Amino acid sequence: MEAARVAALRGHDVTIYEKNSKLGGQLLLASVPPWKAPDLANLIRYLETQVKKLGVKIKFGNELSSEQVAKLGPDVVIVATGATPLIPKIRGIESEKVMTANDVLAGDNDVGNKIVVLGGGRVGCETALFLAKKGKKVTIVEQFKSYADEMPPASRDWLSMELDKAGVNIIVNVNPQEIKDEGLIMIDQKWRETAVEADTIVVAVGTKPNGKLFEELRNKVPELYAIGDCLKPGTIGDAIRDGWRVAREI
């Protein structure tokens, strides 16, 4: 939306093709936790209002192939297809009791009452807090010796305090080994095997760029750019700066 906004301000004829029925992408999921909802919802609303005011055409329900994009005959294509969740290669990961943090925030799956969140980064911790505030018994499992390290210190301190208040159990310095019917099997740094009982395993170990469309469009359109998470997973600020920068260049 930021790329579309700036490009439209510069006089370009802009069309957004969106595979879903709403604009916002990952912000829609990030705004689900109630403590984040007002600010992120306002950001989505601002950008959506601006692109509409500037006459940007929006085509919902359109996940275009590279062939379809080429047939449209665009002068410039900006690919902003985001990222997809990383799925760890551990035994039992294909179990029906496994889902991603995106699934949880989108409300696509029913979660149990005892939940293990794989991954103690920002997304994993915020998803754990979201579930704990719904009355779930939640355990975060992180392979490194600390959690949410990528967050600014003040935000991390607040989140850590909230996790503690919500009764979230945090286990660090362990490696997940296998998902069984009864829960998650782990090995600690001394090669001791332990287990955490769980009805649901939520995967939140990071994301990888969804750059398939960008690669397929190489040499098929006059100008091609990738922005946001499909270039390199980052923050909301990173994505907005990418959109602004590319739209200023075309």
For the stretch 56-84, pLDDT in tens is 999 999 999 999 999 999 999 999 999 99
The predicted pLDDT at position 228 comes to 94
CB 93 within 8 A of CB 179: yes
Euclidean distance between CA atoms 85 and 138, whole angstroms: 20
CATH class of residue range 87-205: alpha beta
The predicted pLDDT at position 10 comes to 97
pLDDT at 150 over 90: no
CATH class of residue range 2-84+208-249: alpha beta
Q: Rg (Cα) of the chain, in Å, rounded?
A: 20
pLDDT at 111 over 80: yes
Euclidean distance between CA atoms 85 and 101, whole angstroms: 8
Domains of the chain by residue range:
2-84+208-249, 87-205
